[in-house]
Structure 1
């Protein structure tokens, strides 16, 4: 019985750590996506393009673009790259140590 209790306690501790880690990663991903989207929107405005223009160039639904730009949906990296490519830009990724 002791082994079962110890296993259960360790399992609960692992699940708690995983949840905290997942929440941290999700929050950071949202922050990064928001920063990228802000830059893309600024560039879209600089180029005098509408969401419809970007939608036509990328195949992304205008309603989805509005959600990304409004911050109610997190786009995938592929979608961000399509958006950037429509503006003549690209997304750069790098692996670095945690700050």
Structure 2
């Protein structure tokens, strides 16, 4: 999902800039990209505790090296979603 997030951020930032009338070649320069991604990473660091950042690093490493999702993980996710939806339905 990390790659999906990166794609969403990139499309939103650059797409919004283009739709606002900006010229993409102005933004698509190494320093501009460094500013945008640096601000995003800085915000991530500011907004989270060191323990969360450490876990994030481990999870990103796992996501990049994982062999894929197993059937049991899908079933666990579906079960958790079912339980959540039941709580939402009953308690609002």
Larger radius of gyration: 1
TM-score, scaled relative to structure 1: 0.27
**Larger relative helix fraction:** 2
Report which structure shows greater RCO (CA 8 Å, sep ≥6).
Answer: 1
